[in-house]
Amino acid sequence: MMVGKRFLLGLILGVVSTSFSWFSLQAAHAACGSVTCFVVVGSQQQVPQAGLLTFNTIYNYTPMRLPDGTNGVIPAIDQADRRLILDHHREIRTITQTVTFDLNYGITDRLGIQVTIPYLWRTHKHLDGLGEAGPNGNGELVPFRDNGVGDVTFTGKYNILPTLRSMIVTGFGVQVPTGTTTARDDHGGIMESPGQLGRGHVGLIGSLYQTYELIPQRLNQFFYGSYRHTFRNNDGYQFGDEYNLSLGASGVPLASTPWLMLTGQFHWRYMVHDNMNASLWQSAPAGNGGEVDPFEIDPLFANRRVPNTGSTYFAFSPGFQMSLDGIIDSPLTKMSSAYFYAQLPIMRDSNNNLAQGTSYIFGFTRSFQLTQTGS
């Protein structure tokens, strides 16, 4: 039995590694922003039975770099003076690591509440001041790093179709602006809103999760969709609305290993352009041979679409989940599972900005029956 388990684990890792290699060779365009990859875990989207507390700990690694064929020149967001300065930065890299603590509790078998607390580590590099700083006006390297709690989300969920083989869960969440918006880069300047750990204002999130057992206890399909709207923050910046759709299936490959489940899921994400209440300025061309200050195009403070924001992203995520109490029967592994996913970009389009590369998710789930139901 132990040899069989080791063989299956080795096979899973081999398949996942092969998937990474295949997708890394495919041509792609761009994605953008300080984002994190997203997968459907199931225990995170469902409503637990009454009195059951499910605790997810999820580690997420998301690198973002410039793809071939793009130069990464984007505008500056001068929050202090409310200026949008075109062609002022050249992006280099962003890496976001997130540990998410996610708690789900079943108030009844149909009604649940969820609290999602992200802790982020973010590093970023860009060339600042194109046309006005650095050798020959080619800009000055400005690193940025920060870590801390991001925006916390509180969600109410209701299962409108509770049957033995299916469920449909609707959710409504409120994202509270607990993440910082005042972090500074290594040169002492306030980092722009898209790079901060928080968005600076309340966000509203609606969601729908559906799952159906095609083959009882062996194969099921699932769907998840969500929409986020965030209000304008005190710096005059408003993040664009975000739409997410996920479709996938998970199944037990062998009847002799019910503790192992393989998963494949596709993800589509569309983000509307951000906008900012600001006047409009223009940087001198990079490499102009000198240092030239930006010049004003329009002094009117107006809501302006931020170029190089907004994106379309399509990805595939293979992964697996292991029920730990199915492998080792002990009090420590009771109602526990571990999982791993990779998010592999298929298509990315984001207006000459940084592109999300292959991302990774590791997670651990543990459930606790806090109150007894029935007689």
| pLDDT tens-digit series, residues 248-276 | 999 999 988 999 999 999 999 999 999 99
Q: What is the pLDDT of residues 275-334, one digit of tens each?
A: 999 999 999 888 777 788 899 999 999 999 999 999 899 999 999 999 999 899 898 899
Task: Tell me the average pLDDT of the chain.
Answer: 87
Torsions phi, psi of 235, nearest 5?
-90, 5
pLDDT band at 38 (very low <50, low <70, confident <90, very high): confident
Global pTM reads 0.86
What is the fold of 2-366? Answer: Porin (2.40.160)
Phi and psi angles of residue 152, each rounded to the nearest 5 degrees, phi first: -85, 140
Phi then psi for residue 140, to 5 deg, are -120, 130
How many other C-beta atoms lie within 10 A of the C-beta of residue 219?
Answer: 15
Q: What percent of the chain has pLDDT over 90?
A: 69
Cβ count within 10 A of residue 286: 20
- For residue 19, pLDDT beyond 50: no
Strands (E), 6-133: 52-65, 73-78, 83-106, 111-128
CA–CA gap between residue 265 and residue 319 (Å, rounded): 9
Which phi and psi (to 5°) does residue 301 adopt?
-80, 110
Burial of 313 per CB tally in 10 Å (0-12, 13-18, 19+):
buried
* pLDDT for residue 32: 31
Q: Are 155 and 172 in contact (CB under 8 A)?
A: yes
Q: Are 276 and 77 in contact (CB under 8 A)?
A: yes
Residue spans of the domains in the chain: they are 2-366
